[in-house]
Structure 1
Amino acid sequence: MTAPVIGVLALQGDVREHVTALTGAGARAHPVRRPTELDAVDGLVIPGGESTTISKLVDIFEMREPIDKRIAAGLPVYGSCAGMIMLATEVLDGRPDQRGFDGIEMTVRRNAFGRQVDSFEAPVEISGVPGGPLHAVFIRAPWVERVGATVEVLGTVTDGPAAGRIVAVRRDNLLATSFHPELTGDLRLHAYFVDLVRTAT
């Protein structure tokens, strides 16, 4: 079976960690910074980082229109943390000038779990990912407050003050999580996305 080519948007954030995880999950992965590099991929990861910075750099590197067009054409995209924010149709507590890709009909609250010092780890069961809960790392993470009718909720926080908050969603070929699976060594979520890309190509 041919390994799908998956790009990681390499403007800011956990690029190297996602490339390593995707490679371990059976993909050919490499950084993407230019429209010509985007043309060559079967799927795309928008990594965690700082969503307002990523929003600005997407315009500076002239990547917004190419990504919008590929998403509209069905390109599988996975956004983690800031990447989730970039895929949302509505962002609460964001900057007025920040813009995403409007790929998943959902309302996301930026930095919902608190500041950097409030980062935490928790087990999260993800629908469609076998093997028990994932060890999820939340760093200045968003959560989802509302989803549209076409959006599937894949995972929620089960314990603590944030119990019940939505932290993983999917709409068709678009996947998003509040947490950072690239930091744990558990490749199951990346394997889930690699399978999604294989199915779509």
Structure 2
Amino acid sequence: MNPLAGVCRARNAAATRAAILEAARTRFADEGYDVATVRAIATDAGIDPALVLRYFGSKEDLLAAVLADCGTICDILDGPREEFGARVAHSLLMDPLDSNKLTVLQVILRSGSSPKAGPMIRANSRTSFYEPMEAWLGGDDAPIRARALGAIIMGAAMSRGVDDNYGIENEVDRRKLCARLADILQRAVD
């Protein structure tokens, strides 16, 4: 028996799984869940459609994997609470645009009204964003503040996706916008 056979197979399996996830993320973002097909996702990944189902079970399970692959809000909660607004505003306005996160927002927008995908997206939003945010915020009004923060963050992220520099060419004005957004975010936290 070849001792490298399992290693090579595992590497190919991981590469295949990653290719399927990437193709699905792109298709769901471009077309929405209802229009995207397993066959088209497989074609984009360069594999047989049966492999999509072998790796993920169903189109619904594939969407769940795409959503799970986008992570949680815990990354932006890590850091001093009093610097939350500045940290998030800088990430939203000044850091290089993260195309993966933008793609996930497009998936959410294009698939959120789907009878099958909508409930999955809402459940994922609760577990990956709202619940961790509520726990971090604490207090009786944590659900309200978490949703206010979600609305502000989602709006800023989508605005950046539409126009990377928010229509502001001048660096000084972009920094002013960043400071204003930081203040708004911090008020929602405090």
Fold shared per TM-score above 0.5: no
| TM-score normalised by length of structure 2 | 0.27
Structure (1 or 2) with the greater helix fraction: 2
| TM-score normalised by length of structure 1 | 0.26
Of structures 1 and 2, the one with the larger relative CO (CA 8 A, separation 6+) is: 2
